[in-house]
Amino acid sequence: MSLHPRDTWNHWKKYTDARIGLGRSGRSQRTQDLLAFELAFAKAKDSLLKEIDWNIFQKDLDLKLSNFINSSSILLESQAKDLNEYLTRPDLGRKLAITSMTFQQDTRKLQIGIAITNGLSSEAISKHANHFLEEFLSLVLGKDGIPGIELHIFCIKNGRVAIVDDLGSKFNLDLAILLVGERPGLSSPDSMGVYLTYKPRIGLTDDSRNCISNIRPAGLSLGLAAEKLFYLTKESLQLKLTGVNLKDRSGGINNLEFKTKVKICGVRTSEDAVFIVEMGADFIGLNISPKSKRNIDLQKALEISKEIRLANDRYSKNVKIVLLAFSNSLDEIKNAYNSIQPDFIQLVYSDPSLTNNWQEIISSLPLIPSITASEALHLSELPFYKDQLLIIDSPSKEMGGGTGQTFAWEEIQHFTGKYLLAGGLNSENVGLAVSKLHPWGVDVASGVEDQPGKQSQEKILQFIQNAKRIS
């Protein structure tokens, strides 16, 4: 039997979500590849045909907006009376159904309208629009934000890009920003686009707009997209234009060659594991330490590992499985490795159970050692290879990690090795950690939990997005 070509292509798969190197079974496609394709097609179709409950969406949006502005969003509709007409009559999606409507405006300020519409992917808007707006508004209304503006938020049912021209004409907007679901692809059913139009009015063509595309966790991160929109918005108001004459010179896109790697540790359910794969993490940690609150038994670890591998195939990902042990005997660790076949074994250098076994471990297991900052500063005295991938964590004699406590980051500010930063990280401080230390990756457990051992998918998503801002 020949080697499966999937292994040969794994190196290239990490650079694309396209279906490459699928291999065959005899003369036919493999069943799991065919099923993965059909699932992806179904997700793309659902993304297009599923309708947003705008009342629920607007309620959630207004709750988030209350942290930034005093007014509520305004719900509008296009002239397309239902989804079928919207899809078959694009022209009706470019016009508002209202004939007259007014609201109070401060004429001394620049009027900026932010509109949200389903476009061709309700999934993209449901998943990302509110979180993206939070990121963007925190920049616009922050310490270094844009003065002298008044914001108006609109939710528009069944709108196309050009509907902002009608919106701008009716409400006398100086600048319109549109968040819209993009045409779903087989690997991107949740891609969102943002369009920027200065002095929107009926009759404009698309060369009068700027577009930021492919906004999603596996594409352009929400945080980076918000920063780019913030830059373009400031430039647009200063230059009084948008379109082909407004260039993005923010420089951020040049740094997209490297995104900080993300490891989500302490995963205890298959559902969370599959979600983490889909959201774009790079490593998933399964904890078999008897000392940990996140401990799972071997059977559960095996079950979750199988789901991770299936999700990797389904979403064309290459998320690595890391098995974490502490206070386990070497025989237990080897048995777990042989049963689960993870990509890596994570062991704590200070683990007293392993004191005399490091040479054997290094030679026989794919290792990621976890060390403290002080140990990192004396790396030459440790038994690891010079280019060894490490985890640098807060010290903990009892648990081996996962304490939720940070350490003094300046201790490793000049450390040049390849490492995952751990210890007390969460969605609020990971961006600062990445910008300060530029680690190869970051590792989180307690920072994405609602309570010990119970992870929050919302916190996981926020952490991944914030960590993958450009370092």
Whether pLDDT at 390 is above 50: yes
Pick 96 or 23 by higher pLDDT: 96
Q: What is the pLDDT of residue 149?
A: 93
- Report, as an integer, the average pLDDT of 57-82: 92
What average pLDDT does the segment 424-431 reach? 92
Encoding tokens for residue 360?
A: 């054997």
What is the tens place of the pLDDT at every residue in 102-158?
Answer: 667 777 888 999 999 999 999 999 999 999 999 999 999 988 899 999 999 999 999
Pick the CATH number of 54-255 from 3.40.50.2300, 3.40.50.1000, 3.40.190.100, 3.40.50.11240: 3.40.50.11240
Domain positions in the chain: 5-49, 54-255, 258-467
The answer to whether residue 58 scores a pLDDT higher than 90 is yes
Confidence of residue 255 (pLDDT cuts 50, 70, 90): very low
- Distance, C-alpha 36 to centroid of its chain: 22
pLDDT in tens, 436-451: 888 999 999 999 999 9
Cα–Cα distance, 346 to 82 (Å, whole number) = 54
What is the predicted pLDDT for the residue at 471?
Answer: 43
Q: Which tokens in the block code for residue 464?
A: 């991944």
Worst-scoring range by mean pLDDT, 65-69, 119-123, 176-180? 65-69
Provide, rounded to the nearest whole percent, the portion of the chain with pLDDT above 90: 61
Mean pLDDT for all residues in the chain = 88
Q: Note the CATH architecture for domain 258-467.
A: Alpha-Beta Barrel (3.20)
Which range, 28-32, 68-72, 169-173, has the best average confidence (pLDDT)?
Answer: 169-173
